[in-house]
Structure 1
Amino acid sequence: MTQHPDRTKEPAVRAFDMLHMPEPTLTKLPNGIELYALNAGDQPLNRITVSYASGLMEAAIPDALSLAAQLLREGTESYTGSQVSETLDFHGAWLKCDAGSHDTTVSLWSLNKSTVNLLPLLREILTSPAFPEKEFATLRDKHKARYLLSQKNVGYMAAQIDKKNVFGENHPMSRILNAEEIEALTTDDVHAAYKQAFSTAPRVFVTGEITELLPEIIEFFSEFEFADSSHPAQNILPMQPVAAGAVATCDVDSEHQAALAVSIPAIDRSHPDYIPLRLVVMALGGYFGSRLMANIREDKGYTYGINGNLLGYREGGVVSIMTNTAPQYVDSVISEIRRELNRLREEPMDEEELAIVRNNAMSSLAAILDTPFSIMDHHISHFHTGTPDDYFNRQLEAIKSLSSNQIMELAQKYLDPQRMIISIAHPTAESAAAGE
């Protein structure tokens, strides 16, 4: 007889089992490539991620590298863009190309039975992209259109003001091309950006059910040649934030709401306080029932959503709070943010809320272990962000040892409302009136 669960009773709650992060094996190839392999999963599929240690901040023109990454799948010496797409579709494969702050990555997902047949295409995408003029012009025009559209988005504009306030007006992280500069980009710029980013030996990350495939993948990458087998120096400049308490605003046409970005310069991922401070900021605004959400969204009704995060860049760290609200509530939202920062600094957190914060943090860590791909993403992030080798275990220990007193001490040390840097994007008077 089939037994059905009693829907009138809550399911039992139990503590998380001990979480363990599997480690990939490293093979150093003679050409300088470091190949990390993680044999995991029970499905016959895999992912190959090729990561070059050069990104937007190292590029002379960041937008050119961004376009180069998008154009990698638009044709090579032997494949047209259509043939690239048809080959991927035929094998049920997926290709993703991204340019990050200090890295450029190409990832190929495929069924194990098709991987070897796709390796010649992957080689050409990595080593001999064509950057066809027609496809370049189309992507450049789309890039320009997105830029023009973003200038009418209060959230984007507040984020851009905030970035300049946190990093510095002339910092590489604050660079952005205007419409005329985007229009002036050429395929020569794209070629130069590609050559600069892809000229040195990458790191390769292979994961999935790869027992039989791994020897062939190692042999494939051993055949690559590079002028320089070392990892390039990266353009990492410390943040240069404006004075504490600074407020910057701008007007945006065609929007009815205002966007607010609040930042407090903090510490980077290498600092011993970073992980516990991240938990404090999670309590502030990192999940649906957090302090900011409970107060400003649920109690006051000033916004549909507000979030707070500790962002760790190689250039430094920053506590970031962002939300959209009606223009008349901006000052009230800022006041409530100050209030919640002071509450964390002055009032001990009760055990019930502390348990909720711990469980949310543990759930986030457990989610990393869901799939072989998410596990490998954690290891890739280690190289992209500069986290310590034992970062996962440090997070486990920080969650277990988190206490109310520690939260107050860290909040007093890092969450001073007087250090807030505020960026606001308002709708123009005409746009606000149209929305009433």
Structure 2
Amino acid sequence: LAGWRGDGHTAELPPAPPLEPGPLVLVDRPGSVQSSLRLALPAVPRTHPDHAALQLANLIFGGYFSSRWVENIREDKGYTYGPHSLVEHSVAGSVLVAGADVATEVTAPAMVETLYELGRLATVPPKPEELEQARQYALGTLQLGMSTQAGLASLTSAYAGNGLRLGFLAEHAARLAAATVDDVAEVAARYLAPARAVTVVLGDAARVADSLAALAPVRTETP
């Protein structure tokens, strides 16, 4: 190993292009008994002033088990087992991704409820108790993430990839604690409006295209 060197080099990675909403993309999977729903919405990096409030808005929408989306399409209607949304961060940019797998026959109804929950959060401020529950979950998981060596190493690695030190944890916790209902309502309107979503459905086009077309323009593609 004597010849190995630790010298690195700087690589310039161009930022990811902005999301461009358009027709719902339906990827045809003939004979499928399920449809996979995926929506991408704009998000911000960890260092952005909106990040903490957006994290809380996402939790209220679909980021944990007590969220509105989970309550709606899993607990109330039984359309799916595990809908989930999260903010994904990379060097090239950040994006909020919501995903659920539903039975083919409820593809359009599940999409209706998904768009409804996004629109409701983007236009009506959350209740204070909803925000407080999401806040406690966010702060609690942050503490749990630091409670083991493996968790701390994972956080260190994730933050290092964005040029952050562990001191950012305390700053982020303080922002989560300080976010108000108005802060969350503002970022929800800015980032979670359904009109800003890029939507993809993977499913049996012969069975779902017409019902989805009643909700939005549809572009059908084959894999």
Partner of 1:246: 23
Q: Secondary structure at the match of 1:226?
A: coil
The 2-side partners of 1:392 and 1:425 are apart by 38
Asked if 1:352 is matched to 2:92, the reply is no
1:202-221 superposed matches below 5 A: none
The 1-side partners of 2:9 and 2:179 are apart by 39
1:6-405 superposed matches below 5 A: 225-227=3-5, 229-234=6-11, 236-241=13-18, 243-252=20-29, 255-387=32-164, 390-405=167-182
Note closer, same or farther for the CA distance 1:241–1:399 as it changes in structure 2 (3 Å cut): closer
Does the aligned pair in 2 maintain the 1:268–1:315 contact within 8 Å?
no
Deviations 1:86-139 (A, max 9, x none): xxxxxxxxxxxxxxxxxxxxxxxxxxxxxxxxxxxxxxxxx5xxxxxxxxxxxx
> What is the alpha-carbon root mean square deviation over aligned residues?
2.2
Partner of 2:213: none
Note closer, same or farther for the CA distance 1:396–1:262 as it changes in structure 2 (3 Å cut): same
Shift of 1:319: 1.1
Does the aligned pair in 1 maintain the 2:32–2:104 contact within 8 Å?
no
Does the aligned pair in 2 maintain the 1:341–1:416 contact within 8 Å?
yes
Q: Secondary structure at the match of 1:303?
A: coil
**Percent identity at matched positions?**
27
Note closer, same or farther for the CA distance 1:390–1:246 as it changes in structure 2 (3 Å cut): farther
Counterpart amino acid of residue 326 in structure 1 = A
The 2-side partners of 1:235 and 1:286 are apart by 32
Note closer, same or farther for the CA distance 1:252–1:387 as it changes in structure 2 (3 Å cut): farther
Q: Secondary structure at the match of 2:177?
A: helix
- Computing the radius of gyration from Cα coordinates, the structure with the larger value is 1
Partner of 1:416: 193
Partner of 1:425: 202
Partner of 1:22: none
**Given the two structures, how large is their TM-score scaled by the length of structure 2?**
0.83
Does the aligned pair in 1 maintain the 2:53–2:176 contact within 8 Å?
yes
In the alignment, structure 1 segments of 5+ residues that lack a partner are 1-126, 128-223, 431-436
The 2-side partners of 1:388 and 1:270 are apart by 11
Note closer, same or farther for the CA distance 1:413–1:232 as it changes in structure 2 (3 Å cut): same
Does the aligned pair in 1 maintain the 2:36–2:100 contact within 8 Å?
yes
Counterpart amino acid of residue 103 in structure 2 = A
In the alignment, structure 2 segments of 5+ residues that lack a partner are 208-223
Counterpart amino acid of residue 44 in structure 2 = I
